[in-house]
Amino acid sequence: MPGLLKRTPVRYALNAAAALGLYIVIMSLIGGKVLNRYQALMLIPIGYNIILAVSLNLTAGFLGQLPLGHAGFMSVGGYAAALFSMSVSLPPSFELPAALLIGFTVSAMFGVVIGLPALRLKGDYLAIITLGFGEIIRVIILNLKFTGGAYGLKGIGRQTTVTWVYIFVLITLYVINTLIKSRHGRAIISIREDEIAAEASGIPTTYYKVLAFSISAGFAGVAGGLYAHYLSILDPSTFGFMRSVEILVIVVLGGLGSVFGSVISAAVLTILPELLRGFAEYRMVIYSLLLVTVMIFKPSGLCGRYEFSLGDSIDGLCASIRARILKKGGGGDASGS
């Protein structure tokens, strides 16, 4: 019995079942009018913020480099996806995934082009240069003809639904989780731990840095595509430096190097300003004070590097129940790694 849950196919089946279960719960909450229309629509921003945060966590948390231009990639992907879906007419169930794929590809290509020179720098300098690239992308979009310039892009089909967002959140989580747990992921983490040691061990650090950076950029593009097809307008001024900062705040608050933390923190930080709407003008002040307080008292973020794993949790639960039945005392090891 304990060995069963350690097997990969069983784990996959378990996670797939849990994902499906959560989807059914969400849809029935919407269908049963437990969540009103406004609350149901809030699920979409939560979804694309999760994608943004998890993808940024790949570079900030696992690769250990700090980029400050994530909003730039989001806008590239958003514009690419929107321009694609506006120029073609495919069946509805194909159009959005195709547009998002375009968004991913274009954004990831930008990631490679920007990453190759930028990733030669480290730490604060990398943050500054990505910030520069992010601002340049915004200014260029602002001055191009086919992106609508300062007026933005209007009339994008409202195709983003809760279901699509849910599917793409799952794809993002799956790809990034498996990437991190693979050989490539360990190479990426080794760069975070000690770049010189990693290079000395024969890891092609430049390759892995650019790989992680461009995958991260690609998923930011997917989030941008979802965002574009949710709001149906794209305004270049919303992709400024402050948007990149917002995403970074989500990641750091959730815990650098914790995908689980990013998901929780994206959800909480998307809902929190809405919950504080009752305090209207005080909400942003409270939000910023909360941010500073959390950082002062728990600088590693709310979840640190903790990862939630359904299989491990059930495993631990079973072990502790068994231990209790056998009266051998001592609980099981309930925490996963």
**Binding stretches for other proteins (CB under 8 A):** 60, 66, 117, 120-121, 123-125, 127-129, 131-133, 135-136, 139-140, 142-143, 196, 241-242, 245, 248-249, 252-253, 256, 281-282, 284-285, 287-289, 291-292, 295-296, 299-301
Residue with tokens 């909360």: 290
For 262-281, the DSSP string reads HHHHHHHHHHHHHHGGGGGG
Minimal distance, residue 181 CB to other proteins, in Å = 24
As a whole number of angstroms, the distance between CA 67 and CA 244 comes to 9
Q: What amino acid occupies position 90?
A: L
Q: Which is nearer to other proteins, 50 or 248 (CB)?
A: 248
Q: What are 325's two structure tokens? A: 């039945």
Minimal distance, residue 11 CB to other proteins, in Å = 32
As a whole number of angstroms, the distance between CA 184 and CA 203 comes to 10
Q: Which is nearer to other proteins, 133 or 164 (CB)?
A: 133
Residue 111 in contact with residue 216, Cβ under 8 Å? yes
Q: Which is nearer to other proteins, 241 or 308 (CB)?
A: 241
Residue with tokens 């990641």: 251
3-state SS assignment for residue 153: strand
CA dist 108 → 8, 174, 242, 261 (Å): 29, 18, 22, 24
Neighbours of 40 (CB within 10 A): 18
Minimal distance, residue 33 CB to other proteins, in Å = 35
Minimal distance, residue 130 CB to other proteins, in Å = 10
Q: Which is nearer to other proteins, 196 or 325 (CB)?
A: 196
Q: Which is nearer to other proteins, 304 or 332 (CB)?
A: 304
Minimal distance, residue 230 CB to other proteins, in Å = 25
Minimal distance, residue 83 CB to other proteins, in Å = 21
Q: Which is nearer to other proteins, 11 or 138 (CB)?
A: 138
